Amino acid sequence: MNYRYKIALIFLIGFFIDCINIFMSAVALPSISSTLQVSSSSVAWVANAYILGLTLIIPVSTWLAGRFGSREILTASMLVFTGSVWMCGLADSFHELVIWRFVQGIGGGLLIPVGQALTFNLFQGEQRAKISTLVMAVALIAPAISPTVGGIIVDSSSWRWVFYSNIPFSLIAAGLSWFWIRESRPTSLARPDILGLLLVSAALGSLLMGMSLYGGDYPAIEAIACVAAGLMFVALYLLHYRRKRDAIIDLSLLKSKKLSTSIFIYYAIPGVFTGVNLMSIFFLQNTLHFSARLTGMFMILYATGAFIAMLTCGRVYNKIGARRLFTLGMLIHSAGIATLMLVAAPTDIGVIVIAYSLMGIGGGIGANTAQTTSLMDFKGSETHKASVIWNINRQMSFSVGAALFLMIYNLLLKQFDSTPAYHATFAIAALVGLFPLFQMSQLNPPKECHEQQPG
C-alpha cells in the first residue's frame, strides 16, 4: 500500500468512528433516557456534548498538528478518544456522561479535519472525486451496521457497551497514525485565534441550549435568553473577524459557491435526517413499542438506498453537475420524510421500509454531491482552512437538526397527542429539507462548473 492510501485509511477509520458515534449512540438514547431518568429533550445532550467538543477543537486542530506534528496529534487524539469512551460506559449520572462525551468529541475532533486535509492534499484533480466516493462509502457503511449492532447491544446487554465497542477502532487508528504518518512540520506558525474559538463555541452552545430549553419543561424566558446570547456571540465573532487577520474561521472562503451551497445542503439533508431519525427512533420504540434492534435495522434500508445513489452519483456527477443532483436529492429525501406521516401502527412496517429507502436514496445523492463539491475550489493551505469550515458545518448540522426537531416535537406535544405530534414534526421536516431549492440558481451550469473533472 502506497503512502497516500495509508493516510487515507487512517482518515477513513477516524471518519468511521465519528459516524458510528452518531448513529449507534442515537439508537441507545431511549434506553439512556430511561436508565438515567432524563427527558427526551435533555438526553439529546449526549449527542450535543460530543458535537461541542468537536467544535471546540476542530478550528485549532490543524495548528496543533503543525505545532506538534500530525503523527503525534492524531495518535494522541485517538488515545483521548479511547479513554473517554471507556469513561462514558462507566458513567453513573447523566451529567458525568455528558462531560465525558464532550471529552470524546475533543478526541474525535482532532483526527477528522487533520486527516481529511492530509488525504485531500494527496489526492488532486480527478482523484479528488474518487476519494470523496470512498469517504461517502464509509458514511454509508457506518449507518448501515452501527444502529443494528447498537440495537442488539441495547436489547441483549446495556447501552454502556455501545460506548465500549468503539475502543478497538480507536486503538487501531492510534497505532496506524504513529507508525505510518511522516509529515514535516512547518518552520513558522501563526498563533491560534483563541478568542475567535471561544466566540464560535459559545455561539453554538448557547443556540443549542436555547432550542433544548424551549422544547422542554423550562420557562420560555430562559430559552430566549440563550438564543439571544447565541446571536450576540455570532455578532461578536463577525466584529472580531473583521479585525483579526488570521481569524479561526476564514469566512472569506464562503465566497466559493460550491462550498457555501454544499454547507446549506448538508443542513437540509444529513442535518434534517439526523433530527428525523432521532424522532423516528423515539416514535418507533416509545409509541409503537418496537425493539431497539428492529429500530436500528431500518438504517440498513437507508444505507442500501444511499449506496445505490452513491454509485450512481460517482458515474454521472461530471456529466449532470451538482445543481441537478442537489435538486433531485432534496426532492427524494423530503418525499421519504413525508412518507413517515403514514406510519400509525406496528403493522405499517412496509411504509417505514419505503420511507427509509427514499430517505437513503435522496440522502446519498445530496450528501455525496456535497462532499465532492465542497472543497473543489481549494488547494494547499486553503484546503486546511476550508476543511475546518466543512467539518464544523458537518458536525453542527447533525446537532442543530436533532435539537431543532426535538424542540418542534415537544412544542407540538403541548397541543396534540403523541402520534399526531410526530406526524406534524415529520411534515415540517420535509418542508425544511426543501429550503435550499431557492439557492440552486447560484451554482454554475454543469459544464462550466465541472469541466475540469473528467469522467
Question: Which among 431, 316, 405, 300 has a CA at the least distance from the CA of 365?
Answer: 316
Classify the phi-psi angles of 380: left when phi > 0, otherwise alpha if psi is within -120 to 50, otherwise beta: left
Task: Say yes or no to pLDDT of 411 above 90.
Answer: no
Task: Say yes or no to pLDDT of 17 above 60.
Answer: yes
Average pLDDT, the chain: 84
Mean pLDDT score, 129-135: 75
Which of 56-70, 129-143, 260-274, 367-381 reaches the highest mean pLDDT?
260-274
Here the cell at position 346 is 406496528
Residue 82 contacts residue 177 (beta carbons within 8 Å): no
Residues 244-263 as b/e (b if ≥16 CB within 10 A, e otherwise) read eeebbbeeebeebbbbbbbb
> Minimum mean pLDDT among 89-93, 181-185, 224-228: which range?
181-185
The better pLDDT of the pair 400, 125 is held by 400
Extents of the domains making up the chain: 3-181+248-443, 193-247
Q: What is the pLDDT of residues 326-371, one digit of tens each?
A: 999 999 999 999 999 999 999 999 999 999 999 999 998 998 888 8
Residue 275 contacts residue 386 (beta carbons within 8 Å): no
Taking residue 348's Cβ as centre, other Cβ atoms within 10 Å add up to 15
Q: What is the pLDDT of residues 378-394, one digit of tens each?
A: 876 677 778 778 877 87
The better pLDDT of the pair 185, 377 is held by 377
CATH architecture of 3-181+248-443: Up-down Bundle (1.20)
Here the cell at position 211 is 432550542
CB-neighbour burial class of residue 134 (10 A; exposed 0-12, middle 13-18, buried 19+): middle
The residue type found at 216 is G
Here the cell at position 370 is 456535497
Q: What is the pLDDT of residues 234-265, one digit of tens each?
A: 999 999 999 888 787 888 888 888 888 899 99
Phi, psi dihedrals of residue 339, rounded to the nearest 5°: -65, -30
Q: What is the pLDDT of residues 22-59, one digit of tens each?
A: 778 888 888 898 888 887 777 878 877 887 787 778 77
Phi, psi dihedrals of residue 256, rounded to the nearest 5°: -70, 115
What is the DSSP annotation of 274-314? HHHHHHHHHIIIIIS---HHHHHHHHHHHHHHHHHHHHHHH
Of the chain, the percentage scoring pLDDT greater than 90 comes to 32
Question: Which among 33, 16, 84 has a CA at the least distance from the CA of 278?
Answer: 33
Task: Say yes or no to pLDDT of 299 above 50.
Answer: yes
Task: Say yes or no to pLDDT of 436 above 80.
Answer: yes
Mean pLDDT score, 419-445: 88
What is the DSSP annotation of 175-229? HHHHHH--PPPPS--PPP-HHHHHHHHHHHHHHHHHHHHHHTTS-HHHHHHHHHH
